[in-house]
Chains A and B, each alone.
Chain A
């Protein structure tokens, strides 16, 4: 099976992605959603909360598993994808698009330590 890994994004080993925009969008990868199975619940921070790179910022649940979500970057949350509360399946259907989770105002050089698409692709194959 092959998984989507958009080239323009940056990744964490724990399968979160971030865009390199300002604000940066954050979500979980195609590989992660496939491992989890049908997502039934997503718990996210509120707008205004601070998240910290490497720390857990939320939780994603399938019926049989719970996973912490780790922040690829630090910063203040400027938007939360509220559609996920009613339609957690968006994470499965479109993990890099409608299944996004947060928007965060990144600090400078926030993206330096993250995996490139290529490096992440290597990790999951």
Chain B
């Protein structure tokens, strides 16, 4: 398979910037202004283009962009699945487009959706109570750790540490630090899982929580999870589940049944809401009963006569988003879960795991750790994983996540998800293998069929130019 990405080229640049197509300055203030001049700006300079010109600009930009609808996007840990189109239509319902300060009486539809999604997520995760407010996974982590902190504080139990496996996602570390905790890093055992002895040595009365994703970042299930939970609980700590990898477990394992006290769900991964080029997502947080009183406010409950009400949990931490989180995303997540139902969700995980195992089996690259589930970390060995990835771009596939986690040298963390057919996986494997076995020169100079050829990251970082104004100054 050969792929050529669209490329509109004018001299030393591609599609010109809006500002290069037009720059118009308008004076602000003056006699017609409704405000005195000292309360207004002097002028405003922005592109002033017609609708047809804008339609072309953005259509061209879209053509210079890869997406899950373009082809495989097997970024490990990112769970790039197909985003069902009908969820867009559901979210676009004008009746759902209401102001967040509306009275509960006049917003029964929105509250009903939120309530329904709280319930779905609680069932899927084996949790007792759910908040939908956090606007992304990292925000969910932060919410969860704040809840843990509030819980410990409530019990006059001042704790200073959060334990995190070395292979965890960067957000885990950053979250713990933002919440004011010291991070205790846990190295993996030889098999790539949590080292129980190391964990036992790490826990103490300072342990506020252990943050864990399961399966972990190389797709391995933490077989000792019951003992891990006991170890943390015995020390008075809480167990936090990073939901990024939930797509491996749907219908086969629930964090709540494994001893986790707090979890976030990553709906732009597991529940197929579109990732929008970086966001928005949503990171709802579920907790067990003991922690429900600390969740953000408001939560939604259903009265005996079928009405929906907002309520403030007794010891709420307050708010983690200005309003109710990423509303449109939450609608799409609800619609996706409803479409799949119990069987569909379980099948999604089964096929995600099947696809990862089948794909790994077709690869010439070694996969040091297993048995893995929905994702695996292949190693590019003595080749540079980033270069191999660049070469893959020329074959009409997006490469996996590279060089992470560090426990696998030259890692290529691969997660095909359930949406790929055998045929596509074969093609993906071929791209993988071809890139992997290509010449040094070929991989070091790749890609050549994408809109941009290899970008010099070093000069971009040494001389930051972050706006078109900065380009004009040159």
Contacts and interface: CB of A to CB of B under 8 A. Distances in A.
A88 B462 contact: yes
Interface in B48-102: none
13 contacts: A38-B458, A40-B458, A40-B461, A40-B462, A41-B461, A41-B462, A62-B458, A63-B457, A63-B458, A63-B461, A64-B403, A88-B462, A89-B462
A64 B403 CA distance: 10
Contacts of A64: 403
A62 B403 CA distance: 15
Contacts of A62: 458
Contacts of B462: 40-41, 88-89
Given A40-B458, A63-B457, A89-B462, 7 more contacts: A38-B458, A40-B461, A40-B462, A41-B462, A63-B458, A63-B461, A64-B403
Contacts of A40: 458, 461-462
B388 to A, nearest CB: 16
Interface string A31-68: 00000001011000000000000000000001110000
Which residue of A40, A63, A88 has the most chain B CB atoms within 10 A of its CB atom?
Answer: A40
Contacts of B458: 38, 40, 62-63
Interface of B: 403, 457-458, 461-462
Interface string A8-47: 0000000000000000000000000000001011000000
A41 B461 CA distance: 8
A112 B89 CA distance: 72
Contacts of A89: 462
A63 B403 CA distance: 13
Nearest to B386: A64
A62 B459 CA distance: 11
Contacts of B461: 40-41, 63
Contacts of A38: 458
Contacts of A41: 461-462
A17 B117 CA distance: 58
A40 B459 CA distance: 8
Contacts of B457: 63
B174 to A, nearest CB: 13
A67 B317 CA distance: 36
A38 B457 CA distance: 10
A81 to B, nearest CB: 16
A98 to B, nearest CB: 16
B210 to A, nearest CB: 26
Contacts of A63: 457-458, 461
A91 B403 CA distance: 24
A62 B461 CA distance: 9
A17 B457 CA distance: 28
A64 B461 CA distance: 11
A62 B460 CA distance: 12
A27 B7 CA distance: 44
B456 to A, nearest CB: 10
Interface string A56-86: 0000001110000000000000000000000
List the 10 closest pairs (A to B, CB-CB), nearest first.
A40-B461, A38-B458, A63-B457, A40-B462, A63-B461, A40-B458, A63-B458, A88-B462, A41-B461, A89-B462
Nearest to B403: A64
A89 B462 CA distance: 9
A63 B455 CA distance: 13
Contacts of B403: 64
A64 B404 CA distance: 11
A88 B462 CA distance: 8
A86 B457 CA distance: 16
A40 B457 CA distance: 10
A104 to B, nearest CB: 26
A63 B462 CA distance: 9
Nearest to B457: A63
A25 B457 CA distance: 30
A106 B403 CA distance: 41
